[in-house]
Amino acid sequence: MVLLALYLSLFPALAALVTSRLISQIGAAALFVAPAAWVATEFLRGFLFGGFPWVPLGNSQVTVLPVAQLASVLGVYGLSALVALVNAAIAYALLTTGASRFKALASAAALLAAIGLWGASRVSDGSLTRQGTPIRVGLVQGNIPQTMKWRADAAREIFTTYISMTRDVVRRGARYVIWPESSTPFTFEGDPFGERELRDLAREVKVPILFGSDQVVTGERESHYNAAFQLSPDGMTAAVYRKIHLVPFGEFVPMSEWLTFFPPLVQTLAGFAPFTPGDAMVMLPVGSHLTSTAICYEVVYPSLVREAVLEGSELLTTITNDAWYGHSSAPYQHFEMASMRAIEHGRYMARAANTGISGVVDPYGRIVAASAIFEQVGLVEQVRFLTTRTIYTTIGDLIAYLAIALVAAALFATRH
């Protein structure tokens, strides 16, 4: 964790270094390049060495819905640019006097007001909540303590909990059931009895079931995957998605060959069996419609969810186990980052979490329903399969590439 924090600190440090250099060359006006420097380095933080894009600056606006609608055009990095630009204008005003100060503040205020008014109108219209085909989803939050999840003597209790909760949400009208990440207390394809029971459950309730379970593939070398299985109403495996973005130091150790200088860590690595990353986005069929899922912190990657929508996903889902986070701010941050993906793509987001927060977010970022953390609950809510695309879905993170180009140009122009 210390190594990761030290590494992540390099990115805001680089943004500050670039801004400082430009100010030394062209004065306070260089503050207006600072938003580009911030966005460029924030984007690189989510990209280099697999990336770690946890809580970008723009996510601070996800609950300010009129402003957050900008994400449907420019994505979360566009919101980061807006927040940084407003603050740059304030900083510039503090360092200048006269008309320049007024122009900076007035321009930032006018931009913010225009975006807010447009965003409020978009949310008020809410046309996406009346389009598409509706379906009721059941989100099963088993609330299994982390200390209990892999105990052999608790496996039967865990499994029967999910089975009974599934029957309950189907009885209440769910036509698509979603369990959390690693919800089966066994490897699905490696436990004939558990596999048979789960397939029989799908046939019994006659609805698709999405659940998380490890997958072991043998061959020349054995590979372990953090996977999401979807069973069709006839109990057959409709699709398997393997997690692409693994958690550093949790599911794999990045650059482990470079860390041999620290013996305690080397000893830990010796007994560490890392997961293998998946290599493709997989669509999950629900009747005639396509859905997609992101496993755990994959949902914080804007580009991954965009890839799913471009491949035809009409409903976004995410499955996770946030029990690790305890009562910290992390489960709330994680849920809000998932909400940002809904705004970016104009899709409903359905989220099933082992200990919470489970819930449904509409295409404008409004929370339709959400559980509390550390409660056992089954939510049944209506979502819609949607096919329209937002501007952001079409152009992707263009704002980040423009920011990189602007910073490069500014540094080149002031190279002497």
**CATH number, domain with residue 368:** 3.60.110.10
How much is the pLDDT for 304?
96
| Residue 235 predicted with pLDDT over 70 | yes
Q: For residue 28, which phi and psi values (nearest 5 degrees)?
A: -60, -25
Residues 13 and 104 in one domain: yes
Q: Give the distance between the most distant pair of CA atoms in the chain.
A: 77
Q: With CA atoms as reference, report the closest residue to 299 among 236, 385, 375, 359.
A: 359
Where residue 245 falls (left for φ over 0; alpha for ψ -120 to 50; beta otherwise) is beta
Residue 218 domain-assigned? yes
Q: What token pair was written down for 38?
A: 């911030």
Q: With CA atoms as reference, report the closest residue to 76 among 365, 354, 353, 375.
A: 365
Residues 156 and 75 in one domain: no
- Written as one string, the DSSP assignment of 81-113 is HHHHHHHHHHHHHHH--HHHHHHHHHHHHHHHH
Query: Do residues 170 and 138 make contact, with C-beta atoms less than 8 angstroms apart?
Result: yes
Q: How confident is the model at residue 271 (pLDDT cuts 50, 70, 90)?
A: low
How much is the pLDDT for 214?
92
Residues 177 and 216 in one domain: yes
How much is the pLDDT for 18?
96
Q: What token pair was written down for 34?
A: 């600072």
Is 206 known to be catalytic?
no
- Average pLDDT (278-285) is 95
- Average pLDDT (14-39) is 95
178/392 Cα distance (integer angstroms)? 27
Residue 211 domain-assigned? yes
Name the more confident of 192 and 50.
Answer: 192
Q: How far from 148 is each of 5, 152, 155, 156, 208, CA to CA, in Å?
A: 29, 9, 9, 11, 27
| Residue 57 predicted with pLDDT over 60 | yes
Q: How confident is the model at residue 415 (pLDDT cuts 50, 70, 90)?
A: confident
* pLDDT tens, residue by residue, 347-372: 999 999 999 999 999 999 999 999 99
Q: Which of 42, 195, 243, 298 is catalytic?
A: 243
Q: Which of 296, 298, 314, 381 is catalytic?
A: 296
| Residue 12 predicted with pLDDT over 70 | yes
Residues 286 and 302 in one domain: yes
Q: Which of 42, 181, 195, 251 is catalytic?
A: 181
Buried b (16+ CB within 10 A) or exposed e, 216-230: eeeeeeeeebbbbbb
How much is the pLDDT for 246?
85
Residues 171 and 72 in one domain: no
Bridge partners (DSSP) of residue 319 are 295, 352
Choose the weakest-confidence range: 86-95, 261-270, 292-301: 261-270
Name the more confident of 146 and 251.
Answer: 146
212/318 Cα distance (integer angstroms)? 10
Residues 69 and 179 in one domain: no
Query: Do residues 6 and 259 make contact, with C-beta atoms less than 8 angstroms apart?
Result: no
Which amino acid, one-letter code, is at 226? Answer: N
Query: Do residues 372 and 98 make contact, with C-beta atoms less than 8 angstroms apart?
Result: no
Q: How confident is the model at residue 273 (pLDDT cuts 50, 70, 90)?
A: low
- Average pLDDT (147-161) is 89
Q: How confident is the model at residue 265 (pLDDT cuts 50, 70, 90)?
A: low
How much is the pLDDT for 259?
61
Residues 181 and 239 in one domain: yes
Is 181 known to be catalytic?
yes
Q: How far from 269 is each of 250, 264, 283, CA to CA, in Å?
A: 11, 9, 34
What is the percent of the chain with per-residue pLDDT over 70, rounded to a whole number? 94
Which amino acid, one-letter code, is at 82? Answer: L
Choose the weakest-confidence range: 218-227, 260-269, 294-303: 260-269
Average pLDDT, the chain: 93
246/214 Cα distance (integer angstroms)? 13
Residues whose CB falls within 8 Å of the CB of residue 295, separated by 6 or more in sequence, listed in order: 181, 212, 226, 227, 228, 241, 243, 318, 319, 320
Residue 382 domain-assigned? yes
Q: What token pair was written down for 44?
A: 């690189």
- Average pLDDT (249-255) is 67
Q: What is the CA radius of gyration of the chain?
A: 23
How much is the pLDDT for 261?
62
| Residue 16 predicted with pLDDT over 90 | yes
Residue 155 domain-assigned? yes
| Residue 160 predicted with pLDDT over 80 | yes
Q: How confident is the model at residue 254 (pLDDT cuts 50, 70, 90)?
A: low
Question: Given CA atoms 70, 74, 77, 82 in this order, what sign does their dihedral have?
Answer: negative
Residues 342 and 209 in one domain: yes
**Class of residue 350 by CB neighbours under 10 A (exposed 0-12, middle 13-18, buried 19+):** buried
Q: How confident is the model at residue 50 (pLDDT cuts 50, 70, 90)?
A: confident
How much is the pLDDT for 310?
98
How much is the pLDDT for 381?
98
Classify residue 252 by its DSSP letter.
Answer: B
How much is the pLDDT for 4?
82
Is 243 known to be catalytic?
yes
Residue 38 domain-assigned? yes
Residues 217 and 363 in one domain: yes
Residues 44 and 171 in one domain: no
Residue 300 domain-assigned? yes
How much is the pLDDT for 247?
80
Residues 207 and 292 in one domain: yes
Looking at the 3D structure of the chain, how many domains does it have?
2
Residues 207 and 315 in one domain: yes
292/312 Cα distance (integer angstroms)? 9
Q: For residue 111, which phi and psi values (nearest 5 degrees)?
A: -65, -45
| Residue 258 predicted with pLDDT over 70 | no
- pTM for this entry: 0.93
Note down the domain range covering 48.
2-127+396-413
Residue 268 domain-assigned? no
How much is the pLDDT for 337?
97
Strand order of the sheet with strand 284-286? 284-286, 289-295, 315-320, 349-353, 359-361, 367-370
Residue 302 domain-assigned? yes
